[in-house]
Structure 1
Amino acid sequence: MPHHQKKQCYAILKIDLISLFYKSTAIDRVKEVIKNNILQLIPSITPYINRFIKGFICMIIYVACWPILAFLAGKLIPAIGSGELSTVTNIIINSLVVFLIQKTAQYGQDVYIAKPSLEISEVMRQSLFSKIHKIKMNIINNISAGDITYRLTEDADRVSEVIYKTFQDTLPCLLQLLAVIIYMFYLDWSLTISTFILAPIIVLSVNNFGKRVLIASEKSQESTSDLASLIGESINGISTIRSFAAENWITGRFNTKLRSNKQAKYKTLKLLAIQHPIVGFIEAFGILAILGLGALRINLGLLNSEEFSSFFAAILMLIDPISHISTNFNEYKQAEASLKRLKKINMQPMEKDEQNLEKITRINGKIEFNHVSFEYKKDNEVLQDITLKISKGQVIAFVGSSGAGKSTMMSLILKFINPKLGDIYIDDKNIRSISSIDIRSNIALVQQQPFLFSGRIIDVIKMGRDFSEDDVIKSAKIANAHEFILKLPSKYETNINERGSNFSGGQIQRLAIARAILGNPSILLLDEATSALDSDSEAEVQKGLNQAMNNRTVIIVAHRLSTTQGADKIVVFDKGKIVDSGKHIDLFNKDGIYKELCEKQLIKVT
């Protein structure tokens, strides 16, 4: 090619590339996807920058081999046509050497980039998992477990794959396109420009499909999340389903959601299926048109057969990266939908303590509510102007109808939620000035249906805390659990299955009590701790509770008033207010809510 034509070629190449990068709708969309989804993860790359640099060097070597191979192909095709065997042999050997270098560089690129890419996604998932455990309790309780599980598995996997493919596939493909296009301009700038007349059609087609794939993917992922939520509900409520003989009902609901999920996914797959033949037809039409233009330019003497062979080989080298970028772009759109769902977790308000909080190691157990009000929803107060003093070592029972505010009182003590008005004091210190961790380290909660993690009994009782085996055994003895544990084949090494399915309700409750009192908490909160048990199990658990309650401030929330009669003081709630308080006999002898509750449960003065 004459020198003046090469200079003109480079000028047009510069203008064309700038125009393509800044004006192309599809490239703008790719930049937007990268800006919104990928670049925010750049800080996570810093620890692995050396590996990325090595990977990028390998990538440059890999990409640089493509124009060389196109050049050798241009030499090879005419040599084959003329029957020059020695020339063909030399070119093949040289090509094999270049291929060997290229594939070695590709291996280095993938190896150096794969591990940090996967570790970045791992850090992202760890961050999201940690975030979930810091979201405010009243918010996290309104998000289904199935939905969260789907986001941390399927959605996170999809984003992880895009992170990896960005460095391992998309970026090399973009660089390959750039290198090959520059070589094409070097060979014949006018034929190259003619070739790229079809590019906007392909770009617009890919961009249009990308938008539609994004919308379809969001609907598909929401549908899958709904399906996961229903599966989680059905597993957790399987005993309820069977007790109501509702297997057909839940199966019908599952089949309905399954059909919706199938339809949503089918719509996405159909869009992807339509795209491939359309883009493929455009590519085939372009190749045939280029062959015709090449033949014309050779006939006019503007291009020789060797240059055109190289040019056509270069075009063939564009097809694979364009196909990869097209596929990856659709995956980017699906990952964009996933990342939006993951971002919703990060947007949730976190449970935060105030700054410069006082550190405490031990709580005595005195609690005071001073004109406390609370609401979950605006203008719908759950607690209204609560004033209550609880002395150290006192046993207090909260009673009242469902929704009266009893459990909310416990949540306030644990700092799961904060008062709208008023103050709460522990040992004469406002809990707003005390760290949540310090408060909860001194308070134990035993619920009606405690949740036990799977694993060895000793680990389940410890729950990540630094206590010795002797400490665990001591707490198990207090909880009246030690004897039945010793009867197990592996004793404290026995594994608890998911949801404690290999233990009875009474055993689970006693293990929960042992877990709660490990570390000798000052305050014990009992939320309907025995109401779900049969009489025999209740007696065993109650014995453990009685031992656990010694020398502690105890607050009991109970609907079954038979468990509250020995309390030092019973506090009666109604519609968010304290309407009465006193000992069982005193309250029973009044004509009030407490007496009505006792009569409904056939409880008399003892």
Structure 2
Amino acid sequence: MLSPSQAGFRRLLPLLRPHLRQLIAGLACMLLYVGSFLLLLNLAGELFPSLSSRDLPRVLLLIGQGVVIFAVQKLAQFGQDSLLAGPALQVSQTLRSDLFRTLQTVELGALEKLSAGDLTYRLTEDADRVSEVLYKSIHDTVPSALQLLAVLGYMLWLDWKLTASIVLLAPLIVWLVGLFGARVMAATERSQKKVSELAGLLGEAIEGLPLVRAFAAEPWLQHRFEREIDQHRQARHRTYNLVALQHPVVGMIEVVGLFSVLALAAWRIESGDLSIAGLSSYLTGLVVLIDPIAHVTNNFNEFQQGQASLKRLRQIEREPQEPADPADAVALGVVRGDLVLEDVCFGYDPAQPVLQHLNLEVKAGQVLALVGPSGAGKSTLFSLLLRFNTAQQGRILLDGNDLSVLRARDLRRKVALVPQRTTVFSGSIAEAIRFGRRASDADVMEAARLANADGFIQSLPRGYDTLLEERGSNVSGGQLQRIAIARAVLGNPALLLLDEATSALDAEAEAAVQLGLRQAMSGRTVLVIAHRLATVQEADQIVVLEKGAIVDRGSHDALMQRGGRYRELCERQFIRDLQNR
């Protein structure tokens, strides 16, 4: 019924092994629960003749036995459900945790192409659906299937000829359930794709609402949102229609089977081949069969929907991963900050190089500014220095160590980034500066002082314990940028990468951030991506990049005197040689 590509839940079985003892205890309760049905069927066969003969003591005894068996069955059902819930939920937690760990190692180029809303939906709603399906499979589908087999076996023992007439209908029911299940899975995949697209649009819309209002584009956004939710409704409706159609079709076959059995039973009683007691047990068994058939059918539909969710979760694993550390990776010790690039070439597509034959040398403690138009390769160079990507030709050396043979975590502890757009996680300011690293309060405060952030933090009512709201919306842009600088220098990095950290600030905020940057840069090797060229005139060395190649280099004064591309870029921004100002 399941093709190999659909049988994704088999891959979750190894995750159940740590919970084997609990599963065995739950299985024992399950067997007791299912076995109780056979005892109740036997009691039903004895009860109806006793009622017809008005044997009250016998009736009361049988009822008492039935109550005891029923009570034991319900206790076993409770044990089964409670014992099996833990492993199912633990598997879901492990799956979600493993996938999030995998997500953190996806290549940044691939990650940027993924929708944040879609990924959020997968790791929340899809993971929850997988958990629910796994739990239902363990605590409901398995006992229902066992109940089905046990009751059918009992009915075969009572009267194999009547049971054979029922079994003949089983292949038709199985085929129909499989047919509907495959279509439900396909419809569910389409529905979940629409939900992911809707989640992505919601994320964009919420973040971009100020822009939407600024352009008076609310009707456009409303129309687009309504179109997305209508497509989502249609996709879900198709799934519901398939499930709704399955119930009457399968139910009709069950009714035909029931009436066929009744007709055959009447004929066999007439011929003397079946007793009233046997018929009582048999009909009770037939009634008992209806419930597990309904459960297995419904759960199979949910199982198919869970398959669609698991398939979407597993797609995360197929995203290209960041290169792992080499087996003989070198540990990085104390770093001075000498940086050398030797004939470095790189392209996200090797046929279209982004960086071409770069040769650079930066002495420890120097400041190197990278200037050039958008797309020149400045940010790509930063990604190589952080080893988000690896050069396809040439070498990058830090204190003589090739970055490609270093442990990535060691390297990133010595190289810190201050991005153009600051990202912080919700939590206290102290937690934002620590950013998952172990550091004392004194170290956090010292980093904030270096970043010129201690003053404004201390002036807040709760100081370093002040909670940052989502995206740091309760502090100003300049304050947020100084927190980012403190975060960068906390680990005392030897190499500091600045992606024009002041380009989006006003003059007053920029002055405060620039002071923090100057203090943070002291004694470190610094590479600056400069969009506003007035901010890099004091750099030890300025490198002009264009189409991935170095077209000029030197100090500001030397480049201005020489003319060329740098002077042209400066004049476009109305910057003049300092000597002529």
TM-score after normalising by structure 1: 0.93
Identity %: 47
Report what 2:78 is aligned to.
Answer: 107
Determine the C-alpha separation between the residues in 1 that align with 2:284 and 2:40: 8
Is 1:454 the counterpart of 2:426? The answer is: yes
Q: Alignment partner for residue 320 of structure 1, among 291, 300, 308?
A: 291
Whichever residue aligns with residue 357 of structure 2, its letter is: D
CA distances 1:153-207 after superposition (whole Å, capped 9, x unpaired): 1111111111111111111111111111110111001110011122122111111
Report what 1:24 is aligned to.
Answer: none
Contact 2:346 2:353 in 1 (8 A): yes
Determine the C-alpha separation between the residues in 2 that align with 1:244 and 1:508: 27
Report what 2:242 is aligned to.
Answer: 271
Report what 1:93 is aligned to.
Answer: 64
Report what 2:555 is aligned to.
Answer: 583
Is 1:50 the counterpart of 2:21? The answer is: yes
Please report how far the alpha carbon of residue 377 of structure 1 lies from its aligned counterpart in structure 2 after TM superposition.
2.1
Q: Alignment partner for residue 558 of structure 1, among 530, 542, 560?
A: 530
SS for the counterpart of 1:194 is: helix
Report what 2:48 is aligned to.
Answer: 77
Is 1:499 the counterpart of 2:503? The answer is: no
SS for the counterpart of 1:580 is: strand
Is 1:153 the counterpart of 2:145? The answer is: no
Report what 1:252 is aligned to.
Answer: 223
Report what 1:374 is aligned to.
Answer: 346
Contact 2:366 2:540 in 1 (8 A): yes
Is 1:142 the counterpart of 2:108? The answer is: no
What root-mean-square deviation, in Å, do the aligned CA atoms of Structure 1 and Structure 2 show?
1.3
CA distances 1:288-325 after superposition (whole Å, capped 9, x unpaired): 22111111111111111111111111111111111111
Please report how far the alpha carbon of residue 84 of structure 1 lies from its aligned counterpart in structure 2 after TM superposition.
3.0
Report what 1:438 is aligned to.
Answer: 410
Higher deviation after alignment, 91-100 or 407-416: 91-100
Contact 1:383 1:405 in 2 (8 A): yes
Report what 1:598 is aligned to.
Answer: 570
SS for the counterpart of 1:556 is: strand
Determine the C-alpha separation between the residues in 2 that align with 1:420 and 1:252: 46
Report what 2:384 is aligned to.
Answer: 412
Report what 1:16 is aligned to.
Answer: none
Whichever residue aligns with residue 296 of structure 1, its letter is: W
CA distances 1:359-405 after superposition (whole Å, capped 9, x unpaired): 11322111111111111124111111111111111100000000000
Is 1:214 the counterpart of 2:221? The answer is: no
Question: Structure 1 residues 242 and 361 mapped into 2: Cα distance closer, same or farther (>3 Å)?
Answer: farther
Superposed counterparts of 1:190-229, under 5 Å: 190-229=161-200
Please report how far the alpha carbon of residue 243 of structure 1 lies from its aligned counterpart in structure 2 after TM superposition.
2.3
Please report how far the alpha carbon of residue 52 of structure 1 lies from its aligned counterpart in structure 2 after TM superposition.
0.6
Whichever residue aligns with residue 184 of structure 2, its letter is: V
Report what 2:511 is aligned to.
Answer: 539
Determine the C-alpha separation between the residues in 1 that align with 2:476 and 2:128: 37
CA distances 1:389-442 after superposition (whole Å, capped 9, x unpaired): 111111000000000000000000000011121111111111111111011000
Whichever residue aligns with residue 459 of structure 1, its letter is: E
Is 1:349 the counterpart of 2:320? The answer is: yes
Determine the C-alpha separation between the residues in 1 that align with 2:214 and 2:341: 42
Contact 2:482 2:513 in 1 (8 A): yes
Whichever residue aligns with residue 269 of structure 1, its letter is: Y
Question: Structure 1 residues 377 and 251 mapped into 2: Cα distance closer, same or farther (>3 Å)?
Answer: farther
Contact 1:396 1:571 in 2 (8 A): yes
Determine the C-alpha separation between the residues in 2 that align with 1:603 and 1:82: 112
Whichever residue aligns with residue 426 of structure 2, its letter is: S
Report what 1:361 is aligned to.
Answer: 333
Contact 1:479 1:548 in 2 (8 A): yes
Is 1:399 the counterpart of 2:368? The answer is: no
Contact 1:410 1:525 in 2 (8 A): yes
Determine the C-alpha separation between the residues in 2 that align with 1:187 and 1:388: 89
Q: Alignment partner for residue 486 of structure 1, among 439, 458, 479?
A: 458
Is 1:309 the counterpart of 2:280? The answer is: yes
Please report how far the alpha carbon of residue 593 of structure 1 lies from its aligned counterpart in structure 2 after TM superposition.
1.5
Report what 2:520 is aligned to.
Answer: 548
SS for the counterpart of 2:348 is: strand
Contact 1:138 1:417 in 2 (8 A): no
Contact 1:369 1:389 in 2 (8 A): yes
Contact 2:416 2:496 in 1 (8 A): yes
Determine the C-alpha separation between the residues in 2 that align with 1:494 and 1:583: 43
SS for the counterpart of 1:237 is: helix
Higher deviation after alignment, 466-475 or 369-378: 369-378
Is 1:428 the counterpart of 2:400? The answer is: yes
Is 1:231 the counterpart of 2:202? The answer is: yes
Contact 2:9 2:307 in 1 (8 A): no
SS for the counterpart of 1:376 is: coil
SS for the counterpart of 1:465 is: coil
Determine the C-alpha separation between the residues in 2 that align with 1:148 and 1:441: 28
Please report how far the alpha carbon of residue 329 of structure 1 lies from its aligned counterpart in structure 2 after TM superposition.
0.6
CA distances 1:38-61 after superposition (whole Å, capped 9, x unpaired): 221222112111111111111110
Whichever residue aligns with residue 169 of structure 1, its letter is: D
Contact 1:151 1:338 in 2 (8 A): yes
Report what 1:240 is aligned to.
Answer: 211
Is 1:385 the counterpart of 2:338? The answer is: no
Determine the C-alpha separation between the residues in 1 that align with 2:326 and 2:222: 48
Higher deviation after alignment, 551-560 or 134-143: 134-143
SS for the counterpart of 1:377 is: coil
Determine the C-alpha separation between the residues in 2 that align with 1:321 and 1:388: 73
CA distances 1:223-248 after superposition (whole Å, capped 9, x unpaired): 10111111111122233222222222
Contact 1:569 1:581 in 2 (8 A): yes
Determine the C-alpha separation between the residues in 2 that align with 1:361 and 1:69: 74
Determine the C-alpha separation between the residues in 1 that align with 2:380 and 2:273: 85
Report what 2:146 is aligned to.
Answer: 175
Report what 1:23 is aligned to.
Answer: none
Determine the C-alpha separation between the residues in 1 that align with 2:19 and 2:209: 47
SS for the counterpart of 1:358 is: coil
Contact 1:65 1:98 in 2 (8 A): yes
Determine the C-alpha separation between the residues in 1 that align with 2:556 and 2:156: 95
Please report how far the alpha carbon of residue 592 of structure 1 lies from its aligned counterpart in structure 2 after TM superposition.
1.6
Contact 1:572 1:580 in 2 (8 A): yes
Contact 1:59 1:105 in 2 (8 A): yes
Determine the C-alpha separation between the residues in 1 that align with 2:320 and 2:536: 37
CA distances 1:489-516 after superposition (whole Å, capped 9, x unpaired): 1111110001001111011000011111
Determine the C-alpha separation between the residues in 2 that align with 1:357 and 1:364: 20
Q: Alignment partner for residue 493 of structure 2, among 511, 521, 535?
A: 521
SS for the counterpart of 1:402 is: coil
How many pairs does the alignment contain?
Answer: 577
SS for the counterpart of 1:63 is: helix
Please report how far the alpha carbon of residue 32 of structure 1 lies from its aligned counterpart in structure 2 after TM superposition.
5.4
Question: Structure 1 residues 261 and 483 mapped into 2: Cα distance closer, same or farther (>3 Å)?
Answer: same
Report what 1:125 is aligned to.
Answer: 96
Determine the C-alpha separation between the residues in 2 that align with 1:264 and 1:42: 31
SS for the counterpart of 1:554 is: strand
SS for the counterpart of 1:445 is: strand
Determine the C-alpha separation between the residues in 2 that align with 1:435 and 1:516: 19
Contact 2:450 2:519 in 1 (8 A): yes
